[in-house]
């Protein structure tokens, strides 16, 4: 069943969806604040998502203002046809000196440094980049503002993997440390609620309808 404005007693419901696969994703390059276009596979996957997501009765889309997200939103809205608001606070984590490098290269070339940085949990940052904590704070601020602005609505939030992880790990009180049990599955979306400045997890790892 789809959601309506009164289903959850004015609980604002956010659906968290990552943008489609990009050319840099395909090459395993770290994008962060950089950008690249969607691949044909990425476009196809988002078109499939647009059909699956129609049942949720979205009132609007709230999204990162990066190019790969705008391209994703354009495809989604061919089916959903709802108002869109972009917010730069939903941008991906800034990876500083490592942006544009491939993840395998970073793991091989900076292995010891990467291991030490990852052990810092929420304080992880690439050289010259942004901490996960800073990412979480700006993202939660953006979504809290949206929850207060549109109480009781169903808001599809289209953004980035790092953004989604920061929100969900924060709600679940995860420490973001190596060895933590895996929480999220690839190619899925998630539902969270917001009421009186408090977030809650409704459902994780929802797949596309077949």
CA distance 18 to 190: 10
> Is the pLDDT confidence value at 66 over 70?
yes
Nearest Cα to 176, choosing from 204, 203, 136? 136
For the residues 182-203, what does the mean pLDDT come to?
96
The pLDDT value given to residue 92: 98
> Would you say 68 and 19 are in contact if contact means Cβ atoms under 8 Å apart?
yes
> Of the listed 71, 92, 99, 130, which one is catalytic?
92
CA distance 141 to 201: 17
**Over the stretch 75-132, which tens digit does the pLDDT of each residue have?**
999 999 999 999 999 999 999 999 999 999 999 999 999 999 999 999 999 999 999 9
> Is the pLDDT confidence value at 65 over 50?
yes
The pLDDT value given to residue 115: 97
Q: Is 48 a catalytic residue?
A: no
Identify the band that residue 9 occupies on the pLDDT scale cut at 50, 70 and 90.
Answer: low
What the block records as the tokens of 195 is 């009421």
What the block records as the tokens of 191 is 């539902």
Nearest Cα to 22, choosing from 45, 49, 50, 42? 42
Kindly list the domain boundaries of the chain, sorted by start residue: 12-206
CA distance 148 to 28: 37
For the residues 32-41, what does the mean pLDDT come to?
97
Buried b (16+ CB within 10 A) or exposed e, 124-137: bbbeebbbbbbbbe
> Of the listed 19, 59, 190, 194, which one is catalytic?
19
State which fold the 12-206 domain adopts.
Answer: Rossmann fold (3.40.50)
Average pLDDT, the chain: 95
Q: Is 160 a catalytic residue?
A: no
């Amino acid at each position: 069943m789809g959601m309506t404005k009164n289903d959850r007693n004015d609980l604002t419901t956010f659906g968290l969806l990552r943008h489609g696969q990009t050319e840099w994703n395909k090459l395993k390059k770290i994008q962060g604040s950089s950008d690249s276009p969607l691949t044909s596979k990425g476009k196809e996957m988002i078109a499939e998502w647009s059909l699956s997501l129609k049942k949720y009765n979205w009132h609007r889309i709230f999204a990162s203002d990066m190019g790969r997200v705008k391209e994703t939103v354009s495809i989604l809205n061919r089916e959903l046809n709802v108002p869109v608001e972009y917010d730069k606070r939903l941008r991906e984590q800034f990876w500083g000196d490592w942006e544009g490098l491939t993840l395998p290269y970073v793991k091989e070339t900076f292995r010891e440094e990467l291991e030490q940085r990852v052990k810092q949990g929420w304080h992880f940052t690439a050289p010259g980049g942004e901490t996960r904590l800073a990412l979480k704070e700006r993202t939660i601020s953006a979504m809290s503002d949206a929850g207060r602005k549109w109480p009781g609505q169903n808001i599809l939030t289209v953004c980035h993997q790092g953004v989604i992880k920061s929100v969900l790990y924060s709600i679940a009180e995860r420490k973001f440390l190596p060895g933590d049990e895996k929480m999220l599955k690839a190619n899925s979306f998630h539902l969270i609620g917001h009421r009186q400045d408090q977030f809650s997890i409704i459902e994780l790892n929802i797949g596309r309808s077949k």
